[in-house]
Amino acid sequence: MRDNPKFLPVVLLILLSLIWGTSFILIKQGLKVFAPDEVGSLRVAAASIFLLPFALMRVRELSKDDYFKLFVSGLMGIFFPAFLFAWAQTRLESSLAGILNTLSPLWTMIMGAVFFGQYFKGYAIVGIIISFGGAIILTLSRSAGSISGFNVYGLLIVIACALYGTNLNWLKFKIHNLGSITITSVALLLVGPLAATYLFGFTSFTTKLVEVPGAWQAFGFIVLLALMSTAIANLIFTKLVKISTPLFASSVTYIMPIVAVMWGVIDGEHLLIGHFIGMLAILGGVYLANKK
């Protein structure tokens, strides 16, 4: 790999796609025992513990203003999306959740234009329209493949993607002076106690862990989700951006849904024509919006 450094970005891209693409099936496994709020709060709390050593090494370097900005970032980029994705997957196949997640880059553009003075035009606008059309098709598509009735749970993922998009702009324009490891670890340090307090104070998580068969296995899936998707994946993505280009790194958007769909099919999920039309529309729109 040292002899061919160009090979490393490809390896990291594939690894990152596998990790993020697997996240949705792990949420599904956790939901077999735990309620969505338990899955979301456990995910955030576990990730916070995992990156705690990194956060403790960096907290003294930060100002009071940094703490506020990182807390806001933690809420938008980690805390609320963890709950929204878990709630969405109580009524939405994991494969479809993975496809809807590709709306994040589009929301990044939209929020950048609305709140941070960024602009885009031409085929980017066409791409946004096509992708949102695909999202509408997916939210109208039931598991049987019919187009009947609005699935509000798909809208929860759209909201989560909007939070992701807002957070990315917030990081770019408000916390550009901090490193990625500092941002991720300290943001988790600030929102982790909220998740832990909710988990142990307002849910039946501990009771289920002791009394419900299969609870420890579901617990393991959620902890794996926290370590992979919230902690390790962010470190890999940071490295990938540094050794490649943002355009290359963003191509994870196109590979990740394929992994999510493969896991869903393996787990017995059925995708019919309405789902595939929505998927193709979203991916095509994302491609147009990100095209130079």
The arithmetic mean of pLDDT across residues 107-130, rounded, is 75
Which range has the worst mean pLDDT, 45-49, 91-95, 118-122, 228-232? 118-122
Answer whether residue 173 shows pLDDT above 70.
Answer: yes
% pLDDT > 70, the chain: 84
Q: Is the dihedral of CA 43, 44, 48, 51 positive or negative?
A: positive
pLDDT in tens, 36-46: 999 999 999 99
Q: Which one is predicted more confidently, 183 or 143?
A: 183
**Mean pLDDT for the chain overall:** 83
The arithmetic mean of pLDDT across residues 149-165, rounded, is 83
Q: How far is it, in rounded angstroms, from Cα 270 to Cα 231? A: 31
Tell me how crowded residue 10 is: count the other CB atoms within 10 A of its CB. 13
% pLDDT > 90, the chain: 40
Predicted TM-score (pTM) of this structure: 0.83
Answer whether residue 60 shows pLDDT above 70.
Answer: yes
The arithmetic mean of pLDDT across residues 77-90, rounded, is 94
87, 197, 23, 225: CA torsion to nearest 10 = -150
The H or E element containing residue 149 is: none
Which range has the worst mean pLDDT, 21-25, 38-42, 73-77, 135-139? 135-139
Q: What is the pLDDT of residue 180?
A: 80
Nearest CA-CA partner of 50 in 179, 265, 226: 226
Which range has the worst mean pLDDT, 23-32, 70-79, 175-184, 280-289? 280-289
